[in-house]
Structure 1
Amino acid sequence: MRFLRGDHAFAQLIRFALVGGSSNIAYVLLFLAANGIGPLLANIAGSIVSTVIANELHRRLTFHAAGRVGWFTAQWEGGGLALVGLLISTAALAGVESVAPGLGATAQAGAVLAIMAMVGGMRFLALRALVAA
């Protein structure tokens, strides 16, 4: 457990993945709950809420930066990176919708989550450079 609490890159990556998994659960629940307004709007709502949660958890837990980085700065930097992810996931969701228009909400959420996993790796590297430096 001591290793997981450390500031080594691998420990941070594990915490990043745990925070990401938790915020993805929040995202999926919101996506499914809001899917009645349409998958694109549900994606945006889920992304905003889960991003705010993830940014704060990353600031406090993943990078131990609560003393160095303020809430607004973490939201601004993390939110900017998340916006890039949102654009990628929204474009992917629109592509899935045009290729497979009858795909259910759960499959749509799965497609977005797979893409966000790739974006998450890039986001970890960027946040580590911004926050942990």
Structure 2
Amino acid sequence: MTCPSLLVRRPAAGETAGSVAGRLRGEDTLAQFTRFVLVGGSTTLVYAALFVALEGFGYLPAHVVATATSTVLANEMHRRLTFHAGERVTWLTAQLEAGGVTVVGLLLSSTALGVLDSLAPDASVVTQVALVVTVTGLVGLMRFIALRWLFRPRTATTA
């Protein structure tokens, strides 16, 4: 449901169809993926800031709180900005749709942090964040595929 139908958006007044802004506002896969990456990058910065701020509580609590906070923010930004679905999809629906993939990502990144902690207990916070960013990037690709193609509105078939 998050992804709108793949109708092409018309350029706004004063905007040409070939401009960067015009391309980024499009509904094609490249435009949506570019917006997805920009949202993901910005919410990853939120994750990193929270993780560093909370790291004194231990890597796992910091990771869970930072992941939950940045995920809720990312889901909302994807709903409104990436997929332009703010009027069609509720906040709760967007959280639930992306939540399943997020849980997989949380489990994978938590496992990766646990393995890192057991292999290199003195790993720096930069190394920990870099590991989570790498795992999250891979999970993000899965999220994009799910939100773009699995949760898009189905067209009714006629008999």
Question: TM over 0.5, yes or no?
Answer: yes
Partner of 2:38: 18
Matched, 1:9 2:29: yes
Which structure 2 residue ranges, 5 or more long, are not aligned? 1-20, 154-159
1:23-76: per-residue Cα shift (whole Å, max 9, x none)? 000000000000000001111000000001000000000001112111110011
2:46 and 2:140 map into 1 onto residues whose CA distance is 16
Instruction: Tell me the percent identity.
Output: 48
1:83 and 1:30 map into 2 onto residues whose CA distance is 19
1:113 and 1:37 map into 2 onto residues whose CA distance is 20
Work out which structure has the larger RCO, using CA pairs closer than 8 Å and 6 or more positions apart in sequence. 2
Normalised by the length of structure 2, the TM-score is: 0.81
Q: Does the CA-based 8 Å contact 2:35-2:82 persist in structure 1?
A: yes
The count of aligned residue pairs is: 133
Q: 1:120 to 1:12 in 2, by over 3 A?
A: same
Partner of 2:130: 110
Normalised by the length of structure 1, the TM-score is: 0.96
Which structure 1 residue ranges, 5 or more long, are not aligned? none
Higher helix share: 1
Matches within 5 A, 1:31-110: 31-110=51-130
Q: Does the CA-based 8 Å contact 2:101-2:142 persist in structure 1?
A: no
Question: Which segment is superposed worse, 116-125 or 19-28?
Answer: 116-125
2:125 and 2:92 map into 1 onto residues whose CA distance is 33
